[in-house]
Amino acid sequence: MSRRTKGNFHQTLAPLLFLTPNMLIFGVFIILPAVVGLRLALYEWSILGGGEFVGLANFRRLIGDEMFWITTRNTLIYVLSVVPLLLVSSLGLGALTAKRLRAVAVFRSFYYLPAMLSFVIVAIVWRWILGDELGIVNYMLRQVGMQPVSWLTAPGMARGSVIFATVWMRTGFFMVMFVAGLQAIPDEFYDAAAIDGASPRQTFFRVTLPLLKPTVLVVTVLSTIEAFKAFEIIYVLTGGGPGYATKLMVHNIYELAFEQDRMGYAASNSIVLLIIIGVLTFSQFAVSRGEFTNE
């Protein structure tokens, strides 16, 4: 048994010192607000009028709050739609653009372009496209004698529209991750599969996909977190409507905090959202952990 050495300055203190500035920023802007938010959730707090300690009353109130359950359900529908669609579309585009072909970089840039736009701009553009009376799509439908579609005014269509707009915008971002993952797979695996007579379909499911699992996990975790936190694109595109058909948890938190001036209750909603995201992320890593151990 070798004796454990204390290590010299380069091995012990220096790395910590390098990390200190970043840890300070992380502490001040992430940890501290999170702690303050947790404290806030225990208060009945008005943004202008101060607060009163109420313990866990804000969390108990959540159970009977209809809007909390409606927005939670809407958020789950949104996440369960957006994440698989993003995975499939970004993996598909990644597979197409990972090949070393002429001008492929142009296509990659083209697909990545929406990810560079702000959520608000994307939402305004889609509002112009999908508007019932003044939208471009319905205008074209009318021109060819077809009935206009209630893209944003029927609850089901509005949900579909916000999901589509989100996937359209974020596919390019996750595509880049898949391109990197695909290009990291050694050609020898494909050569071996070809020698064994594997079809393209077999190659994809037996070679490519298993080797892409780390990337799939990262994309799943990131897109899940992002989908749970979705706000701007929906707020501008539908305002959470019609009614509250597309109102998500973050939108509800925003209204509670800034319109109803119930900062403490809004903080308790945020804590619940944090727990949901935390549990899901932990589960995704836990499920995937065993599969990576042999790689």
User: Applying CB under 8 A, which of residues 242, 274, 277, 280 lies at the interface with other proteins?
Assistant: 242
Q: Binding to other proteins by residue 241, rule CB under 8 A?
A: yes
Rounded CA Rg of the chain = 24
User: Applying CB under 8 A, which of residues 37, 44, 77, 150 lies at the interface with other proteins?
Assistant: 150
Which region, judged by CB under 8 A, interacts with other proteins, from 81-89, 213-221, 231-239, 278-286?
A: 231-239
Q: Binding to other proteins by residue 258, rule CB under 8 A?
A: yes
Beta bridge partners of 120: none
Q: Binding to other proteins by residue 33, rule CB under 8 A?
A: no
Burial status of residue 17 (CB atoms within 10 A of its CB: 0-12, 13-18, 19 or more): exposed
Residue with smaller CB distance to other proteins, 70 or 198: 70
The Cα 188–Cα 82 span in angstroms is 34
Q: Binding to other proteins by residue 30, rule CB under 8 A?
A: no
Residue 117 near residue 165 (C-beta atoms within 8 A): no
| CA distances, 294 to each of 206, 217, 236, 290 (Å) | 16, 16, 46, 8
Residue with smaller CB distance to other proteins, 38 or 67: 67
Half-sphere exposure of 198 (CA within 13 A, CB side): 17
Q: Binding to other proteins by residue 287, rule CB under 8 A?
A: no
CB of 134 to other proteins, least distance (A): 6
The Cα 195–Cα 203 span in angstroms is 11
CB of 10 to other proteins, least distance (A): 6
Residues numbered 152 to 171 that lie near other proteins (CB under 8 A) are: 152-155, 158
3-class secondary-structure state, position 43: strand
Q: Binding to other proteins by residue 232, rule CB under 8 A?
A: no
Residue 237 near residue 64 (C-beta atoms within 8 A): no
DSSP state, 147? P
User: Applying CB under 8 A, which of residues 200, 243, 275, 279 lies at the interface with other proteins?
Assistant: 243
Percent composition of the chain: helix, strand, coil (DSSP 3-state, to 5):
70, 5, 25
Amino acid in position 86: L
Beta bridge partners of 43: 53
Residue with smaller CB distance to other proteins, 23 or 105: 23
Residues numbered 42 to 101 that lie near other proteins (CB under 8 A) are: 47-49
Q: Binding to other proteins by residue 21, rule CB under 8 A?
A: yes
The Cα 233–Cα 170 span in angstroms is 11
Which region, judged by CB under 8 A, interacts with other proteins, from 72-80, 109-117, 209-217, 242-250?
A: 242-250
Q: Binding to other proteins by residue 238, rule CB under 8 A?
A: yes
**Which residues of the shown chain bind other proteins in the complex (CB under 8 A)?**
9-10, 13-14, 17-18, 20-21, 24, 47-49, 127, 131-134, 150, 152-155, 158, 236-245, 247, 255, 258-261
